[in-house]
Amino acid sequence: MGSRRRRSVHELLGGGLLADVILWRRRHITIGILLGTFAAWVIFELSGYTLLSLVSRVLLLLVTILFVWAKAAGVLNRPPPPLPELHITEEATNLAADFFRTKINSILSASRDIALGRDPNLFCKVVACLWLISVVSSWTDFLTLSYSGLAVILTIPVLYEKYEDIIDKYLLLAYTKLKIIYEKLDGDCSGKVKKWILENGKLS
């Protein structure tokens, strides 16, 4: 692949903040995400807590502190906890509902196409992804898998962007070799099938 791609890796990732974070163009955010998720992973692994149990305990502690603070403030004539007025606007609710409706409808439409056999390529991709997830998840727990996936997302694209020409060269070489092997195996299998059909035809 001597010629450069028409679209850069940054553009392929959609551009914007997400692409900047994945490609380490906002280094402080990327490092913060990696360190934060690593710290969370260590805490979960060492403490033995699950995500739900840890969140519930943190919320229990927070609610208790705020309740005691508010009651003590009333007795001691002090100001109550400085809590902002939190509410969700109707516009934000409509935007979120529209977003999820569009995504869910796309998934349902694709699922219908797969179930009715209309899209064999999509069926193969879904089966391959589900099988891969099943195999990988049997090796490790969900938390470790999630952190490993995040680490891969934050390392592979930036390495590819940096060494794009070299990686493309070896990928093309590997693809060419695999294509030759596939054509050879396909030819051998086709020859054996034809020979078997001819032999059975003569016997009958």
- Lowest mean pLDDT across 6-10, 12-16, 132-136, 155-159: 6-10
Position 64 scores a pLDDT of 93
Position 21 scores a pLDDT of 83
Does residue 61 surpass a pLDDT of 80?
Answer: yes
DSSP letter string, 136-161? HHHHS-HHHHHHHHHHHHTTHHHHHH
CA distance 166 to 171: 9
Does residue 115 surpass a pLDDT of 90?
Answer: no
The per-residue pLDDT for range 94-103, each reduced to its tens digit, is 888 998 899 8
Q: Is 100 among the domain residues?
A: no
State the total domains in the chain.
1
Q: Is 180 among the domain residues?
A: yes
pTM: 0.51
Per cent of the chain over pLDDT 90 is 4
Does residue 91 surpass a pLDDT of 60?
Answer: yes
Contacts of 50 (CB under 8 A, 6+ apart): 44
Does residue 26 surpass a pLDDT of 90?
Answer: no
Q: Is the dihedral of CA 51, 53, 54, 58 positive or negative?
A: positive
- Lowest mean pLDDT across 118-127, 129-138, 142-151, 187-196: 187-196
Work out the average pLDDT over 107-122. Answer: 81
Look at residue 38 and give its three-state secondary structure: helix
Q: Is 182 among the domain residues?
A: yes
Q: Is 193 among the domain residues?
A: yes
What domain range includes position 184?
164-204
Q: Is 119 among the domain residues?
A: no
Instruction: Give the start-end residues of each E strand in 56-121.
Output: none
Q: Is 172 among the domain residues?
A: yes
Average pLDDT, the chain: 80
CA distance 11 to 14: 5
Q: Is 61 among the domain residues?
A: no
